[in-house]
Structure 1
């Protein structure tokens, strides 16, 4: 693993921890420049980490605006996802 990959992973883990601990609250703006200063790294590992977090649904990128922490899930959405899992998981387990 290259040093650049390790750095991107470390930055990802640090931002992930901030999101999970609500140090970065749901829906709040995340600026690349602030993260660059906070972690004392270049823009590249920050963008890589944010891109990965976006793929996981933890941050949202809006064109020409930037990144935001994903909004907190509503109770209704949680219930919908739970019901979907109840439908899908038994069938998937039966096929395994």
Structure 2
């Protein structure tokens, strides 16, 4: 009986060893925990990236608004300068008597 139980135990150990190794690799030490950690890291980085892109979009909107205001100021300043020159030419023409 002892020899037969030794043979059966050895056979079961030999057959089950690759399955224990693959289970240990998948679940115990490597693959599944790495997949879970990688997935949660990916979700976290996506969330952080979305926040950054939103902040980036806010920065772009603020910059475009600033450029719009600067362009509006430049156009208004130019309009005032042109109006001042036209008024000066008109007044000079009135003083010299030319219609």
TM range (shorter): under 0.3
1 or 2 for the larger relative contact order (CA 8 Å, sep ≥6)?
1
TM-score by length of 1: 0.23
Q: Per residue, is there more strand in 1 or in 2?
A: 1
Q: Per residue, is there more helix in 1 or in 2?
A: 2
Question: Which is greater in Rg?
Answer: 2
